[in-house]
Amino acid sequence: MSERAPGAGRFAPSPSGDLHLGNLRTALLAWLFARSTGRRFLMRVEDLDRVRPGAEARQLDDLAALGLDWDGEIVRQSERLPLYSAALETLTDAGLTYECFCTRREIQQAATAPHGPDGHYPGTCRDLTEAQRQAKRDAGRPPAVRLRAAASEFTVHDELHGSYTGAVDDVVLRRGDGVPAYNLAVVVDDADQGVDQVVRGDDLLSSAPRQAYLATLLGLPVPRYAHVPLALNDEGKRLAKRDGAVTLADQRAAGRSPDWVLAALARSLGMAADGEAPTLSELLPRFDPSNLPRTPWIFTRG
């Protein structure tokens, strides 16, 4: 891993579309967490999966329009494949991986492992013989590579949720198409970039234990986590573009400036009064994680 100055937070969107107000709110929180603790703030584009042309540029423009700044060059996962390969090789050399030939449908239909919750891999391919693996290869099934986990759960500390223990299973490290999987890439990237503070939506809280466990297997430090409440629509569902008027471009079309949006986000976090429009420099000294809402922000159009 490369040597960098210690201490950083980050925002790491996938360029699959425009950021909605919930994404922008999480980015604001990640920036506030980092800047208020003297950390660098890094921008990483997680482009190993869905990439929509022009989405990255629009996302970065929207973040800049709110006044968010970041340190150093923007990092793209697609440019870091050798790092993921090296980490996978380390795990394989230690006997901590195995090939998995299951399709997504087969996994969904299989019985869940006794120690894991619904959706966790039941270990179907864990103990295949070499002859069985070769037969599947000969049948034309490209294997994914999974972690051979020796733990069923792991505990992390979260700034908002406290001590959190979650299930660990044999997560995919490399997909059947050869693309590094998210759980491996994010662990490798955070360690390589010196990220020791991960702020993201609380829908990812259950992923933290398996990622922290994977980091320990690779001999990498485990970051401090802060999983923040999501933005939901008035039906209590995760905010999405189908809810209408949820992007910065939508708000601009309605005559609302980025400063207006920043103020609305600040109010949703209890950091601004009605009618107030604080700047980022004014928000920073007000920021106190202990005062953050613990419930979702319900966004109502209007």
The encoded tokens of residue 259 equal 């400063």
Q: Does the annotation place 266 within a ligand binding site?
A: no
To the question of whether residue 12 is assigned a binding role by annotation, the answer is yes
Q: Any known ligand binding at 276?
A: no
Residue 163 is labelled as binding a ligand: no
- 241 labelled ligand-binding: yes
At which residue do the structure tokens 């980091």 appear? 215
Residue bearing tokens 């090296």 = 86
Residue 195 contacts residue 223 (beta carbons within 8 Å): yes
**Strands 40-45 and 153-158, how do they pair?**
unpaired
Residues that are catalytic: 241
Please tell me whether 33 is known to bind a ligand: no
Is 200 assigned a ligand-binding role in the annotation? yes
46 annotated ligand-binding residue: yes
Find out whether 121 is annotated in a ligand binding site: yes
Tokens encoding 103? 């399709």
Would you say 104 is a known binding-site residue?
no
**Has 13 been labeled as part of a binding site?**
yes
SS3 for the chain is: CCCCCCCEEEECCCCCCCCEHHHHHHHHHHHHHHHHCCCEEEEEECCCCCCCCCHHHHHHHHHHHCCCCCCCCCEEHHHCHHHHHHHHHHHHHCCCEEEECCCHHHHHHCCCCCCCCCCCCCCCCCCCCHHHHHHHHHCCCCCEEEECCCCCEEEEEECCCEEEEEECCCCEEECCCCCECHHHHHHHHHHHCCCCEEEEEHHHHHHHHHHHHHHHHCCCCCCEEEEECCEECCCCCECCHHHCCCEHHHHHHCCCCHHHHHHHHHHHCCCCCCCCCCCHHHHHHHCCHHHCCCCCEECCCC
Binding-site entries for L-glutamate? 10-14, 46, 182, 200
Residue list for the binding site for ATP: 241
Q: Which residues are annotated as a binding site for Zn(2+)?
A: 100, 102, 121, 125
- Which residues line the annotated binding site? 10-14, 46, 100, 102, 121, 125, 182, 200, 241
